[in-house]
Amino acid sequence: MIIKDSIGYFLGLLLTVSPALTVAQPGRPSFPKRPNIQPNPIQPYKAIPLQSQRNPHKVCYVKPGNKGDDAGRIRDALRKCNNGGTVVLDQEYTICTPLDLRFLKHVDIALTGKVEFCTEIEFWQQNLFEFHFQDASSWWVWGGEDVHLYGADTGVIHGNGQSWYDAYAANGTLRRPLLFIADGWHGGSITGLKLRQSPNWHNFIANSSDLLISDIDIFSRSSSSAWASNLDGWDTFRSDNIVIQNSVINHDDDCVSFKPNSTNIIVQGLQCNGSHGISVGSLGNYPYQYDIVSDLYIYNNTMANTTTAARLKVWPGAEAVKRGNPPWVGGGGQGYVRNVTYDTMINDNNNLAIQIDQCYGAINASECLDHPSQVILTDVLFKNIWGTANGADDPVAGQLICGSEDSCDNIRAENVTLTNPSGEPPQWECRYQDEELLDLGGVGCIPA
């Protein structure tokens, strides 16, 4: 009995750690095992549990319905193979009703097929999961403990965003769902997926910890005159010890955005095209909230055709109204940003390489000066940043603008070199900066 148990244990271990092996059952197709993807090269602030075992005999294959709603089938399979099994989604599935998956524990999901969502816009308006932060909502929510979702570079999650882009152009109050929400996901990974045509932000990582996100391919563009806007790649919120790495993002808006209470996060090896940068914030949006963002390391990322590459955006210290449909309203919140490093960032045809904006949302500069931000920026470093600007703000290559002498401290730049298409030396607009801490390629600050 002891020998038999030992053989079973070591067989299970072998199948778990070897990404080349597949598991087959009589009459069932094989499926790829969870790949052995690790954080690299910068290691997480604490180890992420990635080597948990699964029972190779506890496998649930999900058979899609005949062009119906597969939400119930997916939920049932995850309940059946929860606590030690694997769920295989290797065909095409449609989700037409809300799907709450926050009960997951010790389970793998091999999503090597395609999941898409019905375009019943009026139905979804009344049936989305809602989060009380920047009107975030979604048609499904994932969460749990020791959960690994992987696509083996073939799995697709498709949001049918074009219908939403067109509808939103006609009605700016329409609630557009986020493509993927993790809410309370503790330990595990999300790897090897293709995310397509999200109606809104692609990923919202909320109330989660100890999570590796790697090898994700994001593409969302509008094929009509309706703009595909606010399609952030990842937004983190109240989450700790997250690694986002080795992914390609083609979309509009922030490539990654660190929302309130994002701590101990590494972002590395991304290729971001057409975005608004890798951004801290926006912060200080709500007057009743104390926002904290700390210990971020943003390493070796390529930013192309962006408005800004490295960005920190903070609302003023009193409520501001920004033009829009509907108009933005925010400001007056408190908090701090501490120990943030942007290291090795390649700029390719960007408006600005660096932007610190403590007047985010303000209509004019006087509004910001009269009500300086109450979110304090401390110990922020930009280093090894180079490349080309696109000439949109030529000769200005960046802005480091703080709201007051007291709202920024120890903002540093090292080995920052940018080239303007005009050939003019790059200029840096600064306000309330210690210029002795700024190595901007031999070019000093000009007043903002």
| Dist CA 394 CA 378 (whole Å) | 29
Annotation marks residue 276 as catalytic: yes
User: What would the two tokens of residue 292 be?
Assistant: 């904290």
**Is residue 301 exposed (0-12), middle (13-18) or buried (19+ Cβ within 10 Å)?**
buried
Which helix (H) or strand (E) segment holds residue 185: the answer is: strand 180-196
Q: Which of 148, 251, 276, 371 is catalytic?
A: 276
Residues 187/211, Cβ–Cβ less than 8 Å: yes
Residues 298/278, Cβ–Cβ less than 8 Å: yes
Residues 34/146, Cβ–Cβ less than 8 Å: no
Residues 202/180, Cβ–Cβ less than 8 Å: yes
Q: State the Rg of the chain over Cα.
A: 23
Counting DSSP H helices and E strands in the chain, the numbers are: 5, 32
- Supply the DSSP string of 49-79, one letter for each residue: -------TT-EEEPPP-SSS--HHHHHHHHH
| Residues designated as active site | 276
